[in-house]
Amino acid sequence: MSLRTRIRPRGFQVFIALLIAAAVCVVVAGCGGSGGSSDSTESGGETTESTGAGSDSAGVARAKAAVAKYEKPPTSIGITKPLKTKPATGKTIDMVVCNLPVCKIFITTGEEAAEALGWHVKAIYTTGTPEDINAKISQAVSEKPDGILTSGWNRSVYEEALKEAEAAEVPIVTSGTTDKTEPPFIANTVGIPVFVRNGEILGNFIVADSNGKANVAAFNIAEYVHLRALAEAIESTIEKQCSECGAKVVEQQLTDIGTDLPSNVVSTLQADPSINYLAFTDGNFSSGVVAALREAGLSEKVKIVLEDPTEANFPEILAGNEYAGLAYSQPWVVWTGFDSFARYFEGEDAQNPPLAMPTQILTKSNLEAALEGATNTWSPPNMQQQFKELWHVE
């Protein structure tokens, strides 16, 4: 019996199936990617290779100067104009937030801000899918609150619910999106300029820390458009400050967090062993990465830096497993949101200055002092007091 007849269709079909699958993937991957880098910017995904030799001393000096002020705690909350009068009490704000730990912080700090103003807060959690965001915003609108506070989703995700809010004249304060301040939005407290600035800070920090010898893989979750701006700012800053450095953006998907992302990070490092920095555009994205690097024996070969370190990241930073985090104060976002509502209700301009958000580079050496006893979030020093003074409430 010949070999051909012994290989029955059943076995041969598996062979064909996997070859087809592999061929499809190779073709599609080849069409979708370029030069070995994964999905990056529409402009072409600039990927520069680090030669690992020499340093751009002028760029390093510029980078060090640029990050110097962020290595110390900020002194101002970035908003300095007081309200003309003390705001009216008795308002109700619905907060539509995500189901990550960071959003629990949103609610608890929202309740603190509301208490200072004599207002009430209702929390509505969403899974983050477009359908659920629409449903929850719509639910909030139907409750006819004085305002809705939300964060992180571009209006295109929940346009239907926004129409309902506009029709019902319910003002919305958002943050962390690319949205312009158009009805029903009365303010976007953290717009794209902040994320670009934060990306520049991280990029400069990496250049300064590496003394101009960095090769960075910046991991972002594709669903978060505003964080893509941050990732691109990291990439462009590094390329601008350091001609010998390399940087690329590696896109992942939301369901990869804690599941495939850690192994994808390892694969990225294996594919390019010259990478010596990993940047995550949000602290939540690094879930499981430290463990994966440890398993792969790569812990000592890279430094992890991230934006918006969370309570899960703080122990890792203190232990030296994660190198640095750029603080993104969720409490500041919330208090600024309430500040916007207070100004709106009193007939004043609700939109805060675009780069008002204070920040600080948190490392093992300064983290405990920076947290001031808190375990789950960072706030600018004396933040609540400064807001209360602006609101004429004590």
Partner 1 sequence: MNKPPDSVPVPSDGGELVSSEGDGVRPRFHLSLPPLNNVSLLMVWAAVILLFGITQPETFLTAQTAKAVASDQAITAIMALSLVMPLAAGVFDLSIGSVMGFSVVMVAWFQSTAGMSPAVAIVLTLLCGLLIGTVNALVVVRLGVDSFIATLGMSSILLAAIQWVSGGQQIVTGIPSGFTDLGREQIFGIAMPFWYMIVIAIVLWYLLGYRQTGRYLYATGSNPNAARLAGVRTDRLKAVSLMSSASIAALAGIIFTAKIGSASLEAGPPYLLPAFAAVFLGATQFRSRTFNVLGTLIAVYVLATGVKGLQLSGAPFWVEDLFNGVALIVAVALSVRASRKRA
Which CB sits closer to partner 1, 38 or 215? 38
13 binds partner 1 (CB under 8 A): yes
15 binds partner 1 (CB under 8 A): yes
Min separation Cβ 26 and partner 1, Å: 7
3-state helix, strand, coil in the chain (%, to 5): 45, 15, 40
Which CB sits closer to partner 1, 83 or 296? 296
The binding track of 269-308 with respect to partner 1, each residue x by CB under 8 A or -, is -xx-x----------x--xx--xx-xxxx-----------
- The residue assigned the tokens 């993104």 is 328
Min separation Cβ 100 and partner 1, Å: 6
CA distance 289 to 322: 10
Question: Judged by CB under 8 A, how many residues of this single chain contact partner 1?
Answer: 72
Q: Could you give phi then psi for residue 195, rounded to 5 degrees?
A: -70, -35
Mark the segment that binds partner 1 (CB under 8 A) among 114-122, 134-142, 247-255, 365-373: 247-255
Q: Which candidate, 392, 339, 66, places its Cα nearest to that of 186? A: 339
CA distance 155 to 138: 13
The Cβ of residue 338 has, within 10 Å, a number of other Cβ atoms equal to 27
Q: Which of residues 18-37 bind partner 1 (CB under 8 A)?
A: 18-22, 24-26, 28-29, 32-33, 35-37
129 binds partner 1 (CB under 8 A): no
Selected from 76, 99, 142, 385, the binder of partner 1 by CB under 8 A is: 99
Min separation Cβ 363 and partner 1, Å: 20
Min separation Cβ 319 and partner 1, Å: 11
Selected from 9, 90, 347, 373, the binder of partner 1 by CB under 8 A is: 9
In b/e form, how buried is each residue of 210-221, taking b as 16+ CB within 10 angstroms?
Answer: bebbbbbbbbbb
Which CB sits closer to partner 1, 183 or 315? 315
Which CB sits closer to partner 1, 35 or 183? 35
Which CB sits closer to partner 1, 40 or 189? 40
Which CB sits closer to partner 1, 105 or 357? 105
CA distance 86 to 10: 78
Give 3's DSSP letter. H
Q: Which of residues 142-171 bind partner 1 (CB under 8 A)?
A: none
- The residue assigned the tokens 């209702």 is 122
Q: Which of residues 204-233 bind partner 1 (CB under 8 A)?
A: 222
CA distance 178 to 73: 27
Min separation Cβ 317 and partner 1, Å: 14
Min separation Cβ 158 and partner 1, Å: 18
Question: What are the C-alpha distances in Å from 381 to residues 76, 308, 329, 376?
Answer: 8, 17, 11, 15
Q: Which of residues 310-339 bind partner 1 (CB under 8 A)?
A: 310-312, 315
The binding track of 251-270 with respect to partner 1, each residue x by CB under 8 A or -, is xxxxxxxxxx-xxx-xxx-x
Residue type (1 letter), 224: Y
Are the CB atoms for 351 and 304 separated by under 8 Å? no
Which CB sits closer to partner 1, 285 or 387? 285
Which CB sits closer to partner 1, 220 or 352? 220
Backbone angle region of 248, left / alpha / beta, with phi > 0 → left and psi within -120 to 50 → alpha: beta
| Contacts of 219 by beta carbon, 8 Å cutoff, 6+ apart | 231, 250, 252, 261, 265, 278, 279, 280, 281, 285
Selected from 125, 130, 164, 351, the binder of partner 1 by CB under 8 A is: 125
Strand pairing of 215-221 and 246-252?
Answer: parallel
Q: Is 379 helix (H, G, I), strand (E, B) or coil?
A: coil
Min separation Cβ 11 and partner 1, Å: 4
Q: How many helices (H) and strands (E) does the chain have?
A: 14, 11
